[in-house]
Every structure is written in C-alpha cells, then in structure tokens.
Structure 1
Amino acid sequence: MAGLAAAEVPAQAREASYNFDLPAGPLTASIARFSQITGLSVGYPGDLPMVMARRVSGTFPAESALRKLLDGTRLRAVKVGPGLYRLERKAKRADVAPAAAPPPAAFAGPDIIVTGQKRQQALSAIPLSVSVMSAIDMGKAGRSLGSRDMSLDMEGLAMTNLGPGRNRQFIRGVADSPFNGQSQATVAVQVDEARVTFNAPDPDLRLIDVDRIEILKGPQGPLYGSGALGGIYHIVTRRPDPTDSEAWVRLSGSAVEHGRPGHGVEAMLNLPLVGDRLAVRAVGYDFLDGGWIDSGGVRKDSNSTHSAGLRLAVRWQPSDRWTLDAGYWMQNIDSRDSQYVTGTDDRLRRQSRIAEPTDNDFRMAHAAITGELGGLELLSATSYVEQRFSYTLDASASAAFFGLTGQARFDDARRYSVLNQEFRLSEGRNSRWVAGASMLRAMTREQGAMTGEDGMSRNVEDLRRVVSEYALFGEGSIRLARGLDATLGMRLFYSLAKDDARADRAEAERLRKSGKWILSPSLALSYTLPGEGLLFLRYARAMRPGGLAPAGMTASGHFDADELGTFDLGYRKSFWDNRLSVSAGAYYTLWDEIQSDYLLRNGLVSTRNAGRGRIVGLEGSADWRMGGGFALSLGGSVQDARLLRSQAGQKLADRRLPVAPEITGRVSLSRHYRIGSWNGQSGLQANYIGDARLSFDDDLDRGMGDYTVMSASSSVERGPWSLAVRIDNLFDVRGDSFAFGNPFSIREAPQYTPLAPRMLTLSLARRW
C-alpha cells in the first residue's frame, strides 16, 4: 500500500519547524509518519531493525525531531543528499564520521514488517502475495473503518453485504456461497496470535488503534490448518508501550442522504505502570450509524446500527528475554432491521410486516508469552473466542412449508466458540524458519424456531457441532543459489468432527462422527531482483473437513471434505529510491468437491458439495509518490472463477462462482500540504466493482455489482488537535452491492442491497 517515505519539498521549506505528535511504537510506523509531515525521505540499507521508537511531541526542526525519534534505538541519521537521509547503526563507543553518500540505486526505504507468516518478516522478502494496510493509510479515512472498507483498498478481498456482523469474506474468487450456513469459512480472521473465526460470519471488528491489516492471499493450510482456502485476514493491534503514557479521544458526527444522522466516540489510553516493564492499553468506542431504508411503510430509516466495544491489553516484560502480552476484546453490534429492498434497486424502501433485527456479540480473551530458549525464540499463544449471533426474518412467504398460515417469524440463535493453543519456535526477527504444534477446538450451537400468528413456536433447526484439530507444522527457507531461495511449508493434522442435528423435535436425532488425517503442503521459489524487488512462484494446498448437513439434506445427510490448490506467480519491485512501488500477481486455482451452503425450497439453509471449480486471475497495484506532496495509488484485479463440473452433472446456464466480482479497480490521489502552522492532507478515491452473481442455482441467481463509487476526504492537524471531513458515495450512486436479503421470500420478488447513500462525516480528535 502507501510507502514509508514521502516526496521531496523545496529546500527552504525543510528549514521550517513542524508540529510533531508521533506516538511511541514501531520505528517503521514512526519514520513513515515523520516522512509524511516533513516530506523528507528516510531509508535504511536492508531491513529496518524491529525496534520501538519513543514518543516525539512538540514543534521542532525536522532534523531535531529525527534525532529525538532515534534516541535510544542505536541508530543515527546521515544526510546523503537533498531531502534524503540514511539510517545507520552507531558505533559501540562513539559516533564515527558519516560515510560517503551511496548512489541513488543503493538507497532503500524502511521495509514493511508483516507477521502473518507467524514470524517477523520483511514484506520485500516474502514469497507470498500479501497486501498490507498500515495505520497511517487507515488514518486517511477520517473515520473508523471496518472489514468492508478494507475490501475497497486491498485487491482480492470481496465481501457480502447482509449487514454489520453478518457478512462473509472471500479472497481471490474462492467463494462458495453467500448464505450463512454451517460450512467452514474460506477466510480465517486472525487478531494478533488469536484465531477468531472457524465457521462464524465476519465479526466486523472496528479497526481502531490497530497497527496494520495484512491480507495473505492463497491457501494458507501449512501454517493455519483447515478453512484457510482463500487466505487470512490478519488484524495486528497496537501493543501497550511501557516507556511513555499517551491518550487520544475522537468525536464524530455523520449525516446520511435520505436517512438519519449518526454519531460516535472513540478513545485510547496507554499507561505505563512499572518502569519500562509493565503497561496497559485500553480502547473504547460507541457508534450509532444512521439508517436509510424505510420498511413496512411505517418504520422510517429502520436499518440503523449501534456498535460498541472495549479492548484491553497488557504487556509485561519481566526481563529483557521474556514478554507477556494478554488482552480482552468485546464488541456488540445491534441492527434494528435488514438493509435490503424489493422491487427496484433505485429506491430505499420495502414492504415488510415484521422487523428483521440482528445481534452479534463478540468476546475474545488471549495471551502470548515470548522468550528466548537455547538461542531460539519460543512463543506460546492461547486464545478463546465466543460469538453469539442471532437474527429475525419475516418468514410469511414460507409459512405453508411449516404448517402455518398468515404471518410467520423465523428466529435463529447461534453460538460459536474457538479455543486455540499454539507453541512455536523460530530464530526470532527475520527468521528463515518456524516450527510448531497447535490444538484447536471449534464449537457451534444453532437453534432455529418458526412462530406463527397465534404465537405458537416450532423448532425447525437444531444443530450441535464440535471440530477438534491437532497439528504439527513448519516452514523454512534455504538458499539454492545467489539470489535464489526455496521455501517449503508443511502441516500434518488430524481433524475430528462430531455432529448431531434434527430438523424438528419429532425427528430422530442424526449423529455423525468422523476423523481425517490431512497434509497441507506449500512450496515457493523466489528470486531477489537487483535493487528492491522479488519474483516468486508458489504452490499451496488447503482443505476443509466434511460435516453433517443441518436440515433436509439428501439421504446421505452429510457433505464431504473439499480441497483446493493454487499456483501463484508474483512480482514486487521498487523504483526511484522507493518513490514508486509496484506489485503484480497471477494465480491459477483448482477446487475439488466445493462445499456450498444453499437454500432449500422452504428457505432454510443446508450444505452440499457443488462440484469442481477453477479460478484464473490477475491483479496488480502501484503506489507513486509524485513530488510536491502528491501521491497516486492504483490497483485492480481481473478473474474468471467458474464451476467446471457440478456434483449432479447438470448443465448450468451460468457457471461463475458466486459473490466475487470479475473485475475491480481503484484509483486514489492524495496530497500533503501545510497551511500556516497546520499540516494538511486531502484525497480523492474511486472504486469500480464489476459484475457478480449470487448463487450456483439458476432459480435463485441474481446479478449484482457493476457500479463505480467515489469518496473524498480532507484533514488538518496542529500539535495535539486534528479535524477531518469525509464524504462517502460522493455522487449518491444507487448500485446493488448484494442481491439478497431474506431467504424465505427471495424466490417471490427481486431483492437488492443498495449502497449506503451519500454520507458526510466530521470528526475532531485530541491527543495527550
């Protein structure tokens, strides 16, 4: 994504003093923010050491601020040209005279560090397709972000749009179904070292006070086990800083075209407790997002959503060799009604006799211990996640299937939990290998009830599922020749699934217990290009275990495991002293025995094996710091995802896999500037979302997508204060973001999920 060094500015401007408020944190992030404020390029020959920078706050000349920033890091800055500084290590006893300036081609900017591969690695050296969105990039939005916002900025990520806390994520066309059934998700959500989802929908965690988002593309079975067919969505939070206290508060308000206003408050507090050894960090937020859909002729702007959350983190360093990170995250999402319409997609209303609220309550507790053991780094990570998910739907259209007449209401309540324990060994920072063992236990409990006009309730779904996985895994790289490396990964695990289900209380209980040994390999060859660049070819496989279909399945009553393999050819390169960075990828995927959730005639969701699929795609991005404070970012993808053969052998009119669009594109232009003593930034972004389809089934299929949406933002800051304004859906486009809302009535009339109308958001923040 955005680079870590900004464009040059006139020499006279560099002599000025700047207002700095750089929070303590990773040096890579602090250098990036410094470059954005001053316009100076700061680089390091090789991978920037993973060290923590102290907080810098106040008004200083650029060089003075840089010295303060590097204080205690054992690094110093050497001026090597106009607007260019090189970081180098200090001598052990005293500083030595600056080295001669290297030629421009040898100058390298600070690299981005990612941890999605279960160890700290420089992005430039990873033989894997990865997209990274840094905290600085997210800060440009001028508001708190969620998962769907990431899909507009990171190539390959697509999402459904049922509503907050109900969506499913897909990466690079590995999309099995838009329906929230019981098949395991193809994308695993990870928060730091904690596995968050197994078969639950995306919890849509608010991305507040996070360091970065990493999207690992392609099968990640060797390191993450089952379910990571499409990739990993990795949230990396900011850890407590034991060296300095800081806090911030941000207030926001929004106005929605054709809808109700919204408001929000978010805050962070970092507090050292015991010297440089113990610190706590707390984040809290509360938002009300205004609705814009009228329902039933009487409920105006009914789809408003209330989100509230609290995140606590503790870091304890009892010695220089050992660190304990522990935390807790809770978030509640309550939506008053669904966000789909009927009739046409150019209106924001529907006729519905029953409100359709949704509730998603998320809880996560985690702890990780890191330390040195025999010259190696040992990590033990433990996490427990629970998600309680419930919703109500108007089921009147399907009342007759359940022996009811008139109005009928369907209530679904689910409880998901994931317990994960993992042990890992590596060489520490920039380790060329990692090995470990893990245990995962995922439990699901679902109950669905149908209620008629007379108030009588009938249980129509009852499912319990427990999946346990025990694994040994590892990945390592070896040098084959100068510049040529091979990376081999392997995971051997045993998956045990226990299912029991009944369609109603009168039906005999169905039991199923199955165990399966699974081997997930990966192999990559990578070649380091002259300068800053990498060319790689990777192959990887991943698998999902089978299970028991929850309702009305065929005589077998279960669905089989599916398996996916992908070839990925990737390229990353930086030019012009890292002012231009380019990445591109081509991928080919074969997917056997695709598990797919689908709708029964009565509107309930079951699971089956749909057949064999193939995905071919291209994607690319470019980030260019143009000079004069301007930056341009481009990205796009083209893919062909099709079902080659259906399980039943029937001919399909449209063989495309669901949800994922065939074409996407984005372009954004931003500029940093100064207005007196204020630092400013403005940006404009356009996204094109291409055509996509809803389902494999011809009688359910609906088209969606094929629209362009734009946003504009601007922010200014001075010292501890910052003010931001943002307009989303600038031209109030009424595109259909998802052609689905209610499974019980979707066969009766067209359904659409329109884009949120034009929205103006203002925010004011203060740091301490």
Structure 2
Amino acid sequence: MRPEGFFLFAAVAVASAPAQAERVRIDAPAGRAADAAIAIARQTGSSIVVADPAIGNRRVRAIRGSMSAADAVKKLARASGARAVAAGPSAWRLLPAPREPRPFVQPRRPRQQERRFAPPVPQAEAPVEIVVVGSKRDAALAEFPGQVSILPGEELELGGVGGTEKIMQRVATVSSTYLGSGRNKLFIRGIADSSFTGPTQATVGQYLGDLRLSYNAPDPDLRLSDLERVEVLEGPQGTLYGAGSLGGIIRLVPNAPELGVTSASAMIGGSLIQHGAGGADGNATVNLPLAGDSAALRFTVDAATHGGYIDKPLLGEQNVNRTEILGGRAMVRIAAGPDWTVDLIGLGQTNHAEDSQYADRGGPPLSRAAQVQEGAEADFVQGQVVVSGSLGPVRFRSTTGATSQHLMERYDATRPNGPARLFVQRNDTEMFANETRLWQPLGERFEWLAGASYTRNRTTLTREIGGEQERASTTGVRNTINEVTFYGEGSVRLLDRLVATAGARYTRSHLGGEGEDVPLAIALAGMEITAKRIETAFLPSASLLAEVTPETSLFVRYQEGFRPGGLAIEGNFVRRFRNDRAATFEFGARHGVPGTGPFELTASLSHTRWRDIQADFIDGSGLPSTANIGDGTVWTASVAGAVEVTPDLRLSGGLTYNDSHVDEPAPLTFTRTTQVPNIARFAGRLGFDYRRPVGRDLDLTAQGWASYIGRSRLGIGPELGESQGDYFDSGIVVRLGGERHGVSLSVTNIADVQGNRFALGTPFAIGREQITPLQPRTVRIGFDTSF
C-alpha cells in the first residue's frame, strides 16, 4: 500500500455512538501520531483518519488517563499540531491546522468553534506546529530566526498560581532585582542597567497580548492565571517592539473567551514557610456565553497572602514582610462577522507588602536591625480594545489601551546612631497606547508585516524624607513622552529551506519634563535642561534562517534596540540623560519541537555593543540617580534542551554565560572598567517532568527543578560594589488526580538555602552589608477542580 493510503486509513475501528462520550482507559505510547491514533481508535472503539502523512509522521508524547474518545482525539490533535474534525458520532479526521496562533498544549476545555464549524480547506503548505505569537506575523517556530522560550499556561499554574518568579524558575536567561512583588526590574540575556526603580525605561518589554504593560515602571508581577502561554523572546527586539526591548520581551497570551461554552475552574491552597508564617491562595476562572454564540465572557480572580519570614528585633516584631495580592482579568469576545472579532479586556492588581524582604548580612539569620516599618504598595490597572480580522489572505489587528500604575516605596533612611528616619518614593505612571498592523503569513515565497503605533506616557517621581509622622518633600521629576512609530518586516524564501528576513523601525519621540518640589532658584537655572525636545531613532534588522533538516534549523541575525532619554534627580538638581542604543549580532541553532519528540535543543551565541548605557548610581546626597555611564560590550552564550528518557519521564536543562563590561566609561562619571550590574556570569537550570496513570481515573504528575545563579555585582560605582548571587534554588510539585479534580503538594527551596538574591534593601544603608535571602523552604497543599 502506498504511504498516503496508509496514513489516510491509519486508524479505523467499529464506531458506536456511546464511544464518543464514555470515559475509557487510554494508553497511547509516545511516538508517531499515526501509531497513537491507531491505539486510541482500538481502545475507544472509534474511527480516526489521519489525512496528511506529515501529521502521521509527527512525533507526539504519550497520551494516558481516563477520558472520552473525543477528549483523547483532541489531545492527539493538539500534540500533533493538527485539527480534529468530527466525521460522525464517533469518527474524526485529523487535518492540517490553520495558520493562526494556537496553543501547543490542550486547554482546560475544548473550544466550541472547533466542534461547530467546518474547517478550512487544507493548505498545501506544511502545517504549523507551534506559532510564535510574539513574531506579530504568525511565524512558525521552525521559521523564527531568534531564541524564544514558550511556557504553556497550564504548566505555570501547576502547584498554584504565581507571578514572574515562575518564569524565572523555567528560563535561565531571565533574572530580577528581587526588591519585592510589584517593585522589581527584569533582565534578559545580560542586558541590565541598574538596581533601582527610577526614570529610566526598562530593558525588558512586558506585554499582555499586543499592549505593553508599562513604559518606564517596574514589573507589575501580574498573576499568571488562565493563560494560553507565556513567550520570552530574547533581544534586542527593536524592529517589532521598539523602545525598551534591549534585553528582550515577555509576552503574556491570555486564554480567549469560548463562544457557546459554559465552564469554570478553581484552585485553593495553603502554605507554610519554615522559620516564618503561613499563607493562602485562591483562583477562580469562569467562561459564560453571551447572546447565544455571538459573544462570551471570561474572567479570572486571584487572591493570595504570602507569609513573612523577616524579623525586626528592635521593633519586637516577627515575620514582618507579609505580602497580600488581589487581582483579576475579564475579557469579552464579540463575533463581529466572519473572521472578525472584537475583544474588550480589563485587568487590575494590587500588591501590599507590609515590610521589605531584605536582611542584615552579618546579623542573626533572617533579621534586620531597623527601627521603622518599610514595605510598598503597588497598584496596576489596564483596559484594552482589540479588533482582529482578515481581509482575504491579509490579517488585521488593532489594539488600543490605557494603563495606570502607582508604586509607593518606604525605605529606612536612618543615619548611624541617629533618630529613626524614613524615605518615601512614589512613582505614578499613566499611559495611552495604540498599535495597528497588517500582515500576511509566510507562504510559498513571501511574507510581510507593516504597522504603526502611538504611545503617550507620563511618569511622576516624588520623594519625601523625615520622621514617621512628619516628612519634608525633596526634589522630584516628571517625564513625558509622545512616541510615534512606523515599522515593517518582510521574509522571502530564497530556496525551499532558506528564508531571509529584513525589517526596520522609525520612531519619533517628543520628550519633556520638569522638576517637582525644586527650589525656585535652582528651577530657574534649569529651565533650559527641562525644555521639550525631539529624538528620533531608526532601527534596522536582518536575519537568515536555514532549515538543515525538517527538525533542525540554523540562523544568524542582526538587531538593534534603544531607550529614549529623560530627566533624573541629582541632589536638588534635575538634569538630563541621553538615550542609549544596543546592536546585537547573534548566531543560533534549534532542533526539535518543544514538548514533543525524543530530543530538543536550542543554542545561541550573541555579541552586543551597548552605547551611552543608562544606569543608576548613588549621588552625593546618598540618593539614587541616573546617568549615561559609558559604552559597554556583552557576550552571551546559552544552550537549552530536553530529552525523553522514558515515555513517562522527560528531562530538561539550560545554561547561560554572560561576559559584560563597561569598557569605555563616560568622562567625569566613572573612571574604571567594571562589570555590567545584576547579571551573573553563569546561570543554569535542570528540571524533570513525570506523568503516569496510577489508577482507573487517576494520574500522577510531578515536575521539579534546580537552578544555580552565579555571582554578580549590585551596581555601578564603588558605593554599589557589593557582591550578590552564588546560590542554588530548587522546587518540586506533585499532583494526583484526574482531568477535573486533583490534589497537589509542592515544596520550594527544598534545601532551605539562605543565599543572597540581591544586595540592596535600602540605598541609605550602603556599606552596611545587606542581603535579600531566598524565601525559606515552603510547603503548599492545594486542591483544583473544573466543571
């Protein structure tokens, strides 16, 4: 028989109407999709037709557990990058999936659209297995010239909903300042600027869908609940994402509302911190149809209280750093017509940290000799309107949104042997943005993308210092920016397995600002500095990708990124700092498909030239300030991979090496070569994923990880020369249950390592040996359900 005929009738069994809904025991081993289809068809008494030999040859992971035939087929379709189409009461056909962003793991509930509507005519091109949503043009992972990590949303929720720390546990190239939830700066691939939350724009762009979460504010640490996936694209990503993507981007992709479906899920858990206090967390997600099948609402709510573990003996208090988080997201999808949707999205979160999480290096473990209460309040609100559709083969998407982010931080500013004193800093940000783009996915020869964006952002930084009851205002600053951008990118197949891509971005920024609470004489002297000005940036990019085999590709790319300048505070003065710019050459290789197949591997080597680096330092008054510190060079090498040891066990790992220096310090600022701050030279991670049925309706799932973060430097200049890092961290989570209900047990910081994640708690205690220890060993027990 010809191969086409074999795949066409790969799995045929006697069909019976009850087979579709009845739950049976499924045990389809890892291997080819065609073999898995035969096993499922025999065990369920159904018929499964694989219509494309490319799908049949694709390798999939084992499918095991108690489930209906329909659920098993849908799992097989997801694993093989196909679409399952009902062909009878208990018969299905697996057809090539359309070229649209789709998760590569099964969501909690099957999508109603897949059951109700006939699929499009299969395309002649190869089916897409994993689509990189962050490419903005539906690029298949195999055709994407860059390093990207894709984290399935369901895996991030295993063991309880968390925040950004769950991304850092899984991606070795992502790091943080660890000041506290809602206060941190994030870094990717050795591109780090400073230790404080100041007026500089972040080096990592964070997005929910197509809209950035912030412009020059800290990581809001949104709960990673009810997400389809999280994508981490290593930078720079200047052509597609513009300012603030020097190190890369982190993109959250939420699950969309499901038309015509009513479903709900919930999780609840309790935790206990060794040497500390207990905590609790909960999450609920609901999907409701509106107006029949033409609209749907999906919302999720998160609440958590994390127990403290830092003591303040001088105040007679224990476990002072309790943190409370409350947030949620709601999304309404309206089917506006064939291939057109309108999404209305609203999200918000508030973080309350009763005190800070740093300790004295030389004092008793997990304690701090402070006489005042510190801590922080962080509030984040965002609304979006998204219009998506198709104009024939051309896709359209326009996103408009408004964001409000407020951060209040309290620092211990007590002088040695002096009275108790507080420093309070408020960072208030308001942003309006729109991005509109057209694109056509890569076909036989050509692919293109064209877009425009507008961003208006205003950030006000105010400061007070004094006692607990009475404080005096100190100099602050307001920065404003109106940014208009046009960008485009095109790809062409030079040969069947050779794709060339080129693009460019033009940005025109209107910047302004003024001092806050500045003495009159100083304000008059600085009028010229704070005057409005215009900056422009042109960011070209180019890449070449070669598919050596169907599962292996090599690429080389050139990319640029930048951040606009602004105003900073130094003493009682407000002064200007310039924009900075990074240019990166990268060579990389990729083999296999994440989460499937016996073996996968990615590797890259990059060189970045970073000019006029914006970074923070401690000024003569002991306060953080910002300046251009000079030019630097960053070399980064990374490798990550996974191997299927047995059908039930998969091992993964990653390693990154950074060599970064400021080799041309700015005159009169810093006079010696120094390491770029907050980036460890070495970082690595090992992990495992174990899944096995243990009963008729029960499955055992276990995931674990261990990571090492090497030594790094706190900041720029002698005052910020403290060493940090050089510690191990680990965690494990085990879940026992079925598809609808389960019980989980997780342990983090298994070895109860203290370590030092970040050598700063307050800038006023420089030289007093501060550390930010890891959260001690924490045990959590949770329960999850869905219906």
Same topology, TM > 0.5: yes
Q: How many residues are matched? A: 701
Maintained 8 Å contact 1:240/1:280:
yes
- AA aligned to 2:170 is D
Computed over aligned residues only, the root mean square deviation of the Cα atoms, in angstroms, reads 3.2
Q: In the alignment, which of 724, 728, 743 is matched to residue 723 of structure 1?
A: 743
1:434 to 421, 429, 449: 449
Higher RCO, 1 vs 2 (CA within 8 Å, ≥6 residues apart)? 1
After superposition, what is the alpha-carbon deviation per residue over 1:712-751, rounded to whole angstroms, capped at 9, x for unaligned? Answer: 221012242111100000010011111110011223x100
The secondary structure found in structure 1 opposite 2:620 is coil
Shift of 1:296: 4.1
1:327 equivalent in alignment to 2:345 = yes
Q: 1:382 aligns with which of 400, 419, 435?
A: 400
User: Which SS does the other structure have where 1:337 is aligned?
Assistant: coil
* Residue 131 (structure 1) aligned with residue 145 (structure 2): no
Verify: 1:482 aligned to 2:500, yes or no: no
Identify the match of residue 701 of structure 2 among 673, 681, 684. 681
Q: Equivalent residue for 1:362?
A: 380
Aligned to 2:551: 532
Q: Which residue of 2 aligns with 1:733?
A: 753
Match of 1:353 among 350, 355, 371: 371
1:238 equivalent to 2:266? Answer no
Is structure 2 residue 335 aligned with structure 1 residue 317?
yes
Identical pairs, percent: 31
Once the two structures are superposed, residues 310-361 of structure 1 have per-residue CA deviations (whole angstroms, 9 ceiling, x without a partner) of 2100111121131011110000000000011113387100111110020000
Change (3 A) 1:601 1:577: closer
Offset at 1:506?
4.5
Q: Which residue of 1 aligns with 2:24?
A: 17
The separation in 2 between residues aligned to 1:496 and 1:398, in whole angstroms, is 44
CA distance in 2 between partners of 1:339 and 1:441 (Å): 34
Look up the match of 2:413: 395
Which of 546, 554, 559 is the equivalent residue of 2:565?
A: 546
Deviations 1:665-686 (A, max 9, x none): 1111231111212011123311
User: What SS does the aligned partner of 2:166 have?
Assistant: helix
Do structure 1's residue 66 and structure 2's residue 48 form an aligned pair?
Answer: no
Displacement of 1:600: 1.5
Alpha-carbon displacement from aligned partner over 1:453-497 (angstroms, at most 9, x marks no partner): 7x4432102211111110111111012233111111111110111
The equivalences for 1:133-152 within 5 A come to 133-140=151-158, 142-152=159-169
After TM superposition, list the pairs within 5 Å mapping 1:391-540 onto structure 2: 391-397=409-415, 406-427=419-440, 432-452=447-467, 455-502=469-516, 504-509=518-523, 510=526, 511-540=530-559
Offset of residue 68 of structure 1: 9.4
Counterpart amino acid of 2:726?
Answer: D
Q: For 1:116, what is the secondary structure of its paired residue?
A: helix
User: What do the CA deviations read for 1:676-716 (whole angstroms, capped 9, x no partner)?
Assistant: 12011123311111111101212321111111122122101
C-alpha separation in 2, matches of 1:324 and 1:657: 44
1:158 counterpart = 2:175: yes
Q: Name the amino acid aligned to 2:438.
A: L
Alignment deviations for residues 270-326 of structure 1 (CA, whole Å, 9 cap, x no partner): 011123220000100110000000024312100010000021001111211310111
Distance between the aligned counterparts of 2:53 and 2:585, measured in 1? 32
| Conservation of the 8 A alpha-carbon contact between 1:43 and 1:109 | no
Q: CA deviation at 1:124?
A: 1.6
CA distance in 2, matches of 1:180, 1:549: 12
Which residue of structure 2 aligns with residue 178 of structure 1?
195
- The runs of 5 or more residues in structure 1 that have no matched partner are 1-14, 21-30, 49-55, 79-84, 96-107, 400-404
Which residue, 716, 722, 727 being the options, matches 1:702? 722
Partner AA of 1:681 in structure 2: T
Write the deviation string for residues 165-208 of structure 1: whole angstroms up to 9, x where unpaired: 11000111110111111111111111111111111000011101
Contact 1:131 1:154 in 2 (8 A): yes
1:45-64 correspondence to structure 2 within 5 Å: 59-60=66-67
Three-state SS of the structure 2 residue aligned to 1:66 is helix
Whether the 8 Å CA contact 1:263–1:287 is kept in 2: the answer is yes
- C-alpha displacement of 1:87: 3.7
CA distance in 2, matches of 1:186, 1:45: 44
In the TM superposition, residue 539 of structure 1 has moved relative to its aligned partner by 0.4
Write the distance in 1 (CA, Å) between the matches of 2:214 and 2:55.
Answer: 33
Mark the CA change 1:663 to 1:714 in structure 2 (over 3 Å): closer, same or farther: same
**Secondary structure of 1:202's aligned partner:** coil
> Deviation string for 1:364-404 (max 9, x for gaps)?
100110123365222111011110110111212299xxxxx
The alpha-carbon deviation at position 152 of structure 1 amounts to 2.1
SS of alignment partner, residue 627 of structure 1: coil
Q: Which residue is 1:190 aligned to? A: 207
Q: Any unmatched runs of 5+ in structure 2?
A: 1-21, 28-36, 57-62, 98-117, 119-125
**604 and 650 in structure 1: CA distance in 2 versus 1, 3 angstrom threshold:** closer
* Match in the other structure for 2:12: none
Q: Mapping of 1:77-88 within 5 angstroms?
A: 87-88=94-95
1:636-655 mapped onto 2 (5 Å cutoff): 636-648=655-667, 655=674
What amino acid maps onto 1:620 in structure 2? V
Show CA shifts across 1:513-546 (max 9, x none).
Answer: 1101210111001101212121100101111121
**CA–CA distance in structure 1, aligned partners of residues 522 and 673 of structure 2:** 38
Q: 1:597 matched to which residue of 2?
A: 616
Letter in 2 for 1:477: S
CA pair 76-724 structure 1, distance change in 2 beyond 3 A = same
> Any idea what SS the aligned residue of 2:259 has?
coil
Partner Cα separation in structure 2 for residue 229 and residue 282 of structure 1: 33
SS in 2 for 1:111: coil
Match of 2:219 among 202, 207, 214: 202
In the alignment, which of 288, 302, 305 is matched to residue 285 of structure 1?
A: 302
CA distance in 2, matches of 1:113, 1:47: 16
CA spacing shift, 1:512–1:442, aligned 2, 3 Å: same
Q: Distance in 2 between matches of 1:342 and 1:168?
A: 22
> What SS does the aligned partner of 2:300 have?
strand
- 1:557 is displaced (CA, Å) by 2.1
Tell me the distance in 1 between the aligned counterparts of 2:705 and 2:578. 43
Q: In the superposition, relative to structure 1, how do residues 161 and 153 fare at CA in structure 2: closer, same or farther (>3 Å)?
A: same
Aligned to 1:583: 602
- d(CA) in 1 for partners of 2:516, 2:74: 68
- The 1:67/1:194 distance shift into structure 2, 3 A limit, reads closer
Q: 1:618-654 CA deviation, whole Å, 9 max, x = no partner?
A: 1011111222401101111111011111112787676
1:672 is aligned to: 691
